[in-house]
Structure 1
C-alpha cells in the first residue's frame, strides 16, 4: 500500500520513521492523510520492505523513481527484490538488506545507472519494529545526492590534477593551516627535505624552516630578526632550512594565503638556493684571487722587472762600466732580479689555483 492507504487489518503498530511517529496498518483518517502528504512530498524515496523482500508501503517519490528506472508502477505486494533492483546492484542490495534485517542500520552511497538514467543515491536501510519489539521489516530511504556527488567528484579531480602538476614542479610547494601545520607536501619538497612518503602528522613549517615559529600566545615570530607578524607572507626571502636528517639547506621562500570553507590556509613556494649560494661563494673567492693577482701584477712584479729593465739599459752604454768587476756585479743583479720575478710569478700561479 502507499502510505496512509486503508487496510482490512485492524492491527495498530506504531513505529518511528524519519522522526515521525506513524500508525502502520490503521484505519484511514485525517491523520493518515497528513502523514501521506508529508511522506509523498519528501525529497527522499521511502519504502517499507517485508521479511521476504515484499513491498509493504512506499511514498510517491520512490514510486516516480522506480517508474523512471524500470518503466512500471510499484504496487503493494510486489517483490522489491529482484523486480525493482537493477541487476548490477543485486549484491549490494542483498548485503545491505541482510545487515538491516539483522538489526543494523546501514548507509551507503551508490551510483544507480540504467540505459537512460544515472543518479547518485545515498541509501539508508534501518530495521523496523512494532510496539512489542517484533520485527516488521526494513525501511529503505534513498536521497538523490547527484549534485553533491558531482561537486565532490569535481573537487577530487581538481585536487588530483593539482597534485599531479605540483609533483612535477621543480620547486617545493607546501600548504599549511593557519597555525602553520603542514597539510600538503609536494614530491620535490618531500625529497629535498628527506621525508619520503612518510606521514605529515604533527609536522610544522618550523620543522623545515627553523627561523619561523608559531605559538598560541605570541603568534608567528620570525627569527633571527625577532619581529612578530600576523600572516607569514613573504616574497623571495632567504631562510635557513633543515632536512629530516639535519642537513642544512638555504632556501628562498615565497607565500600567499587562501580560504576554503572559511578556513585560512597558507601556500609556500620553496626554492633551494644552496648550490647557487655555494657558486656565489666560489665566485667571490675567485674574485678575491683576481684582486690578489692584480695587486701582485701592479706592485710586486714591477719591482724586479724594473730592476732588470734598468740594468739592461745600462749594458747598452759601453762606457758606463769602469771595469769588468762592475759588469759582473750587474750581471749578478740581473740574475737575482730574474729569480725574484720567477718567484713572484710562481706565487701568482699558486694563488690562482
Structure 2
C-alpha cells in the first residue's frame, strides 16, 4: 500500500460549507460562486451565508449588522491584556493569546453558538487595529457605527474615513479569504473542537496553524517583485533572468488550482475598477500577461496561472495596508469560515483520531 503523508487526498469530513475544485478553478460557498459574492455582495451578507446557510433578507442583514456593530467595541479586559502583552510579540501571537483569553467560564460552552462566531469576527479587526496603533504610540480609534465591517477596519487603523473604493476592494479580499475547504488551519480548528473544547480555543489553534509560513502566505513578496521590476519595459528581461536561474515568479501557481484561481479573477475585476489607469496597476496587468506567457515557455505543461496573492498585492498597495498586517487581516477574514466549520463539526461531532504507522525499533522478545 502506498504511503499517504500529510493526509493528502484523505477525506476527513463531509461539509455543506465550501467546495474547492482546483482542476476546474471553482470556489463555491454554499451553492454560490465565491467570486460573484466578492464582486457583488457585502462582507456581512457573505458571512451570513456561511454561518446560517443562506443569504440574508433585508431584516436579517440589518439584524446582523447591528449585532456586529455592538460587538466591535473592545471590552476593557481585552484592552488591558493587549496593553500587558510584550511589544515584541508578533501580531499573530497576540491574536492567538487574546482569542484564547475570551473563553471565560461563561463562554466556554458546548456546543458552540453562532453568536460567539459573530462576536469574535467583529472583535478581531478591533484587536488588530488597537494593537497596531498602540505599537505606533497612537491613541485607539473607536469603531464608527455608520461604517460596515471592512470600512471600520480601515477607519480604526488610520482614524480617517476610508475611500469607498478602498473599502470595496478590501471587502472583496475579505470575502475571498473567508473559506477555502479543509485547509490546514480549518482542519486544526475542527480537530480541536471535536474534543468538545470551546470555540475560542479552536479558533486560537487555527490561528496558530495560520501563522506558519507554509500556510498563512502573504502578498508581500509579490509587492517586492513588482517594486523591483519597476516599469513595463523591464518586466520581460527581469522575469526571464529569474526563470533561467531557477527562481520563482511570486504570485503564480497554486498547489490546488491547476487553472485560473477564481479568487484572483474576482480581485482583478475589483482592483481594475479601483485603480484603472493607475501606473502601478497597469504594471501589474503587464507583469501578469508577460509572466503567464513566459511560464508556458519555461515550464510547459505545469499550468501555472495567477494566484490570489498577486492581485491581493494590488489591493494591499492601494489601501496602503502595512505588510505586517497582511496575515492578520487574512486571519480576520478566515475566522468566518473557521467558525462556520466549527459549528458544522459540533452538529455531527465525532473526535478526530487518525492512526500512525510505527517505524521505530521493536524490543527483543524472549523465548
Q: Which has the higher contact order (CA 8 A, sep 6+)?
A: 2
TM range, smaller chain: under 0.3
User: Whose strand proportion is higher, 1 or 2?
Assistant: 1
User: Which protein is richer in helix relative to its size?
Assistant: 2
Tell me which structure has the larger Cα radius of gyration.
Answer: 1
